[in-house]
């Protein structure tokens, strides 16, 4: 794998692009022309756990992207469709790694490329300070596995993981990535949903079970419900999402969906709570809490373009 395209350069995409540019030819495919221009002129600067600067190629024009051996789709789940559609054919002879939150991105990617599709879940994190500067924070791994519907060979998965590791990031090739993906799905759906609806960052409230009203009870119930759906879908979890929640609840970190609702941007809820609701229906079990959270957040999104005509209140 000599030529790599990173699709979308937010915090995660920038971390992949910068590290891989040290060991491969990297193209960054981004939405904004100014973003591409800045990357071409200044390259990418990484600070935090790693400190280096690297040059790479960038474009916002699909026709500029050459055929690549590996693509990493690192957009939000809501932007996978629009970002992969114009360039998917350039990866027909290669492999495409999905690095989104939640479930459902692999299926979208597979509709737009004949390449091998790799199911990915990343636990690393970073903060994007500008178009050309990203801070590397949590240096946890990306877990990669075959996308079952494409019968992606493990050798391809391993080659992609090896390249990421060669670039200086952590990655783990797996014969089945679903246990890791579902662990993060259940964690993310529960924490992001509660955060988006309450306005609270991932704070100690999320693990508080001292009172009847404690949100820890709700998180526990959401996670148990998610585990029940995973079990019905035939997935054995890799990690316990409740333990992940307890650790995260000490950070006071605003999850991505809270960031989205604060700015009234479309959330990833279709790929998180919505994915659990859909998988529950498919497996013939019920998921009333995740379904309720799903509907509430879709209602919240609908509210951004809907205002009551009379803001006065009566009883």
Contact between 308 and a second copy per CB under 8 A: yes
User: Shortest gap between Cβ of 251 and a second copy (angstroms)?
Assistant: 9
Q: What is the 3-state secondary structure (H, E, C) of the chain?
A: CCEEEEECCCHHHHHHHHHHCCCCEEEEECCCHHHHHHHHHHCEEEEECCCEEECCEEECCHHHCCCCCEEEECCCHHHHHHHHCCCHHHHCCCEEEECCCCCCHHHHHHCCCCCEEEEEEECCCEEEEECCEEEECCCCCEEEEECHHHCCCHHHHHHHHHHHHHHCCCEEECCCCHHHHHHHHHHHHHHHHHHHHHCCCECHHHHCCCCCCCHHHHHHHHHHHHHHHHHHCCCCCCCCHHHHHHHHCCCCECCHHHHHHHCCCCCCHHHCHHHHHHHHHHHCCCCHHHHHHHHHHHHHHHHCCCCCCCCCCCC
Name which of 157 and 218 has its Cβ closer to a second copy.
218
Which 10-39 positions form the footprint of a second copy (CB under 8 A)? 10-12
Contact between 284 and a second copy per CB under 8 A: no
- Which residue in 81, 137, 239, 240 binds a second copy (CB under 8 A)? 137
Contact between 313 and a second copy per CB under 8 A: yes
- Which residue in 198, 232, 238, 285 binds a second copy (CB under 8 A)? 198
Contact between 217 and a second copy per CB under 8 A: yes
Name which of 159 and 260 has its Cβ closer to a second copy.
260
- Which residue in 194, 230, 237, 287 binds a second copy (CB under 8 A)? 194
- Which residue in 117, 169, 277, 280 binds a second copy (CB under 8 A)? 277
- Which residue in 210, 213, 234, 284 binds a second copy (CB under 8 A)? 213
Name which of 3 and 290 has its Cβ closer to a second copy.
290
Contact between 300 and a second copy per CB under 8 A: yes
Q: Which two tokens stand for residue 80?
A: 């996978």
Contact between 170 and a second copy per CB under 8 A: no
Name which of 151 and 314 has its Cβ closer to a second copy.
314
φ, ψ of residue 127 in degrees (nearest 5): -120, 130
Contact between 121 and a second copy per CB under 8 A: no
Q: Which residues pair with residue 131 across a beta bridge?
A: none
Name which of 284 and 306 has its Cβ closer to a second copy.
306
- Which residue in 51, 63, 210, 315 binds a second copy (CB under 8 A)? 315
Which positions touch a second copy (CB under 8 A)?
10-12, 122, 124-128, 137, 194, 197-201, 203, 205, 212-215, 217-218, 221, 252-254, 256, 258-259, 274, 277, 288-289, 291-292, 294-296, 298-300, 302-304, 306-315
């Amino acid at each position: 794998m000599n030529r790599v395209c990173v699709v979308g350069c937010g915090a995660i995409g920038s971390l992949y692009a910068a590290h891989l540019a040290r060991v491969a030819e990297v193209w960054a495919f981004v939405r904004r022309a100014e973003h591409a221009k800045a990357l071409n002129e200044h390259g990418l600067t990484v600070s935090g756990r790693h400190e280096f600067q690297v040059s790479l190629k960038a474009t916002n024009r699909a026709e500029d992207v050459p055929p690549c051996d590996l693509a990493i789709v690192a957009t939000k789940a809501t932007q996978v469709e629009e970002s992969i559609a114009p360039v998917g054919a350039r990866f027909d002879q290669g492999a495409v790694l999905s690095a989104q939150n939640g479930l459902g991105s692999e299926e979208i990617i597979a509709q737009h490329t004949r390449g091998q599709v790799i199911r990915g879940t990343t636990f690393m994190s970073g903060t994007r300070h500008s178009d050309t500067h990203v801070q590397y924070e949590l240096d946890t791994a990306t877990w990669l596995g075959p996308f079952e519907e494409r019968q992606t060979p493990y050798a391809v998965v391993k080659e992609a993981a090896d390249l990421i590791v060669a670039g200086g990031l952590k990655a783990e090739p797996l014969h089945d990535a679903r246990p890791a993906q579902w662990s993060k799905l259940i964690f993310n759906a529960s924490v992001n949903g509660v955060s988006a609806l309450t306005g609270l960052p991932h704070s100690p409230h999320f693990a508080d079970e001292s009172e009847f009203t404690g949100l820890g009870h709700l998180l526990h119930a959401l996670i148990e419900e998610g585990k029940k759906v995973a079990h019905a879908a035939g997935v054995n979890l890799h990690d316990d999402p409740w333990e992940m929640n307890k650790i995260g609840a000490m950070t006071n970190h605003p999850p991505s969906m809270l960031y989205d609702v604060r700015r009234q941007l479309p959330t990833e809820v279709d790929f998180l709570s919505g994915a659990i609701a859909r998988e529950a229906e498919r497996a013939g079990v019920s998921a009333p809490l995740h379904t309720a959270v799903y509907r509430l957040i879709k209602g919240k999104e609908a509210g951004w373009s809907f205002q009551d005509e009379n803001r006065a209140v009566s009883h």
